[in-house]
Structure 1
């Protein structure tokens, strides 16, 4: 299966449907079965002690899988997260962007599962690992065509 959206088309669509946070996330690389996404870390992403907060890392994992689904399926904005698992492995480096390496494990008609490894920029040691499951609206439905 090929990509339904280019990197630029995907970035523009994400800005359209998530205007409140689209500047937080940057698509670094996009391939058929993987995406590399950056969380631009700012003070609001930090928790006491100067480390990136868990909710910010969850957001990075969730957006990474969602963006890869969009890139593969097209403008499917009503896909929703149905399950998630997030393991915190080590403390992220404060003041460094987070980089997510996401790969699609399954992309079916009604279900998508992605795996995400997250790193502090400049480090090769993962700080967190997530698995995200999405429910996809039925093809041809009004929900699938939204957006």
Structure 2
């Protein structure tokens, strides 16, 4: 793995959850649908619980919901690696390919940081339906690593 930033100690899933709850509580506006299952060395696993807010008619998960869990899982992996320094980071690009029509079940997102530099981080995410090993979507994303958000 190529990196330009110094390695830091990795945070636990509980520590990342606490940071997100304090700094980004709006992710839970529709209830606690996103659950951080694990955070490891440049990886994160996030479960998006099935709810009426992320399903479509016909018994499937909506595309925007899968997009959201892919984006969120990258953010979780970044916070796991960089701690609170990653909080002001923002998505600069996210590309998702939907591979199959998922059933109405929880969605599991497994994010992996491919490269973390001084200004940008690049990651990939595999999305699965709970209980299946078949990919339902694949995403790649870039985050802009900012030290602070400019005041408007």
So what's the TM-score if we normalise by structure 1?
0.89
Task: Provide the rounded CA distance (Å) in 2 between the counterparts of 1:3 and 1:102.
Answer: 18
Gap regions ≥5 residues in structure 1: none
8 Å contact kept, 1:28–1:37: yes
Three-state SS of the structure 1 residue aligned to 2:101 is: coil
Matches within 5 A, 1:1-147: 1-22=7-28, 23-75=32-84, 76-94=86-104, 96-137=105-146, 141=147, 143=148
Post-superposition Cα deviations, 1:39-72, rounded to whole Å, max 9, x if no partner, equal 0110110112121101100000000001111111
- Give the deviation of 1:25 after TM superposition: 1.1
1:87 CA drift (Å): 0.2
SS of equivalent to 1:91:
coil
Q: Which runs of 4+ in 1 moved over 3 A?
A: none
- Normalised by the length of structure 2, the TM-score is 0.86
Contact 1:3/1:32 (CA < 8 Å) preserved in 2? no
The farther-off stretch of 42-51 and 122-131 is 42-51
